[in-house]
Amino acid sequence: MATKIFLDTNIILDLLDQERPFAKESEILFGLIDNGTIQAYFSESVITTTDYVLTKKFTGIQRAGIVTDLLRLLTIIACTNSIVQNALLKNETDLEDAILYELALTEKLDYFISNDKQALKKLSTKKLPVVSTKDFLKIIHAR
Protein backbone atom coordinates (compact mmCIF):
# COMPACT_ATOMS: atom_id res chain seq x y z
CA MET A 1 0.00 0.00 0.00
CA ALA A 2 1.30 3.44 -0.94
CA THR A 3 2.31 5.94 1.71
CA LYS A 4 -0.30 8.71 2.03
CA ILE A 5 0.83 12.30 2.54
CA PHE A 6 -0.64 15.79 2.82
CA LEU A 7 1.16 18.54 0.92
CA ASP A 8 1.41 22.03 2.37
CA THR A 9 1.27 24.96 -0.06
CA ASN A 10 5.02 25.56 0.12
CA ILE A 11 5.75 22.10 -1.32
CA ILE A 12 3.77 22.89 -4.47
CA LEU A 13 5.35 26.33 -4.75
CA ASP A 14 8.79 24.70 -4.42
CA LEU A 15 7.96 22.47 -7.37
CA LEU A 16 6.83 25.37 -9.54
CA ASP A 17 9.69 27.76 -8.77
CA GLN A 18 13.18 26.43 -9.38
CA GLU A 19 14.66 29.37 -7.45
CA ARG A 20 13.15 28.19 -4.17
CA PRO A 21 15.53 26.33 -1.84
CA PHE A 22 13.65 22.99 -1.85
CA ALA A 23 12.76 22.86 -5.55
CA LYS A 24 14.85 19.76 -6.30
CA GLU A 25 13.38 17.81 -3.36
CA SER A 26 9.84 18.71 -4.46
CA GLU A 27 10.62 17.57 -7.99
CA ILE A 28 11.78 14.18 -6.66
CA LEU A 29 8.71 13.95 -4.41
CA PHE A 30 6.35 14.65 -7.31
CA GLY A 31 8.12 11.97 -9.34
CA LEU A 32 7.21 9.48 -6.59
CA ILE A 33 3.63 10.75 -6.61
CA ASP A 34 3.43 10.49 -10.39
CA ASN A 35 4.68 6.88 -10.43
CA GLY A 36 2.19 5.82 -7.73
CA THR A 37 4.69 5.16 -4.94
CA ILE A 38 2.98 7.85 -2.86
CA GLN A 39 -0.63 9.03 -2.67
CA ALA A 40 -0.76 12.77 -2.10
CA TYR A 41 -3.56 14.98 -0.82
CA PHE A 42 -4.17 18.69 -0.44
CA SER A 43 -7.03 21.10 0.21
CA GLU A 44 -8.94 23.62 -1.84
CA SER A 45 -7.26 26.38 0.18
CA VAL A 46 -3.86 25.08 -0.92
CA ILE A 47 -5.06 25.38 -4.54
CA THR A 48 -6.34 28.92 -4.13
CA THR A 49 -3.28 30.11 -2.20
CA THR A 50 -0.97 28.54 -4.77
CA ASP A 51 -2.93 30.13 -7.61
CA TYR A 52 -2.77 33.54 -5.91
CA VAL A 53 1.02 33.35 -5.44
CA LEU A 54 1.47 32.21 -9.04
CA THR A 55 -0.35 35.27 -10.46
CA LYS A 56 3.02 37.07 -10.34
CA LYS A 57 4.70 34.53 -12.65
CA PHE A 58 2.02 32.89 -14.80
CA THR A 59 -0.97 33.87 -16.92
CA GLY A 60 -4.48 32.68 -16.08
CA ILE A 61 -4.30 30.02 -18.79
CA GLN A 62 -0.94 28.77 -17.49
CA ARG A 63 -2.27 28.65 -13.91
CA ALA A 64 -5.35 26.72 -15.05
CA GLY A 65 -3.02 24.18 -16.68
CA ILE A 66 -0.98 23.91 -13.48
CA VAL A 67 -4.10 23.31 -11.38
CA THR A 68 -5.33 20.73 -13.89
CA ASP A 69 -2.01 18.89 -13.60
CA LEU A 70 -2.17 19.03 -9.80
CA LEU A 71 -5.69 17.60 -9.83
CA ARG A 72 -4.43 14.69 -11.90
CA LEU A 73 -1.78 13.90 -9.27
CA LEU A 74 -3.36 14.93 -5.97
CA THR A 75 -6.65 14.32 -4.20
CA ILE A 76 -8.56 17.19 -2.61
CA ILE A 77 -9.76 16.69 0.95
CA ALA A 78 -12.98 18.60 1.58
CA CYS A 79 -13.21 20.79 4.63
CA THR A 80 -16.21 20.51 6.96
CA ASN A 81 -17.54 22.40 9.96
CA SER A 82 -16.23 19.75 12.34
CA ILE A 83 -12.72 20.00 10.91
CA VAL A 84 -12.70 23.76 11.46
CA GLN A 85 -14.12 23.31 14.98
CA ASN A 86 -11.42 20.74 15.84
CA ALA A 87 -8.76 23.10 14.49
CA LEU A 88 -10.12 25.92 16.65
CA LEU A 89 -9.94 23.67 19.73
CA LYS A 90 -6.21 23.30 19.16
CA ASN A 91 -6.03 27.01 19.99
CA GLU A 92 -3.34 27.62 17.39
CA THR A 93 -2.34 31.09 16.33
CA ASP A 94 -2.40 29.96 12.69
CA LEU A 95 -5.88 28.69 11.93
CA GLU A 96 -4.97 27.80 8.34
CA ASP A 97 -2.22 25.41 9.45
CA ALA A 98 -4.46 23.90 12.12
CA ILE A 99 -7.22 23.28 9.56
CA LEU A 100 -4.82 21.68 7.08
CA TYR A 101 -3.45 19.44 9.81
CA GLU A 102 -6.98 18.42 10.86
CA LEU A 103 -7.80 17.59 7.24
CA ALA A 104 -4.82 15.25 7.11
CA LEU A 105 -5.72 13.69 10.46
CA THR A 106 -9.29 13.09 9.33
CA GLU A 107 -8.06 11.19 6.27
CA LYS A 108 -5.66 9.13 8.43
CA LEU A 109 -2.66 10.15 6.33
CA ASP A 110 0.85 8.99 7.18
CA TYR A 111 2.78 12.28 6.95
CA PHE A 112 2.17 16.01 6.69
CA ILE A 113 4.85 17.44 4.38
CA SER A 114 5.87 21.06 4.89
CA ASN A 115 9.10 22.99 4.54
CA ASP A 116 7.76 25.41 7.15
CA LYS A 117 8.04 22.95 10.02
CA GLN A 118 8.46 25.69 12.63
CA ALA A 119 4.94 26.94 12.04
CA LEU A 120 3.53 23.42 12.36
CA LYS A 121 5.84 22.10 15.07
CA LYS A 122 3.19 22.35 17.83
CA LEU A 123 0.73 20.34 15.76
CA SER A 124 3.01 17.42 14.90
CA THR A 125 2.18 14.12 16.60
CA LYS A 126 3.33 10.51 16.31
CA LYS A 127 -0.01 9.81 14.65
CA LEU A 128 0.71 12.40 11.94
CA PRO A 129 4.30 13.68 11.92
CA VAL A 130 5.13 16.95 10.18
CA VAL A 131 8.30 16.48 8.15
CA SER A 132 10.19 18.43 5.52
CA THR A 133 10.44 17.21 1.96
CA LYS A 134 14.09 16.35 2.50
CA ASP A 135 13.35 14.32 5.66
CA PHE A 136 10.43 12.55 4.00
CA LEU A 137 12.58 11.51 1.04
CA LYS A 138 15.10 10.03 3.50
CA ILE A 139 12.29 8.07 5.20
CA ILE A 140 10.95 6.74 1.88
CA HIS A 141 14.37 5.79 0.54
CA ALA A 142 15.23 3.97 3.80
CA ARG A 143 12.32 1.53 3.24
Domain ranges of the chain: 3-142
Query: What is the block-wise mean pLDDT of the chain (143 residues), using blocks of 10 residues?
Result: 92 93 96 96 95 94 96 96 92 83 96 84 86 95 80
Q: Write down the pTM of the prediction.
A: 0.92
CA gap 108, 20 in Å, rounded = 30
Domain 3-142 CATH assignment equals 3.40.50.300: no
What is residue 92's predicted lDDT score, i.e. its pLDDT? 64
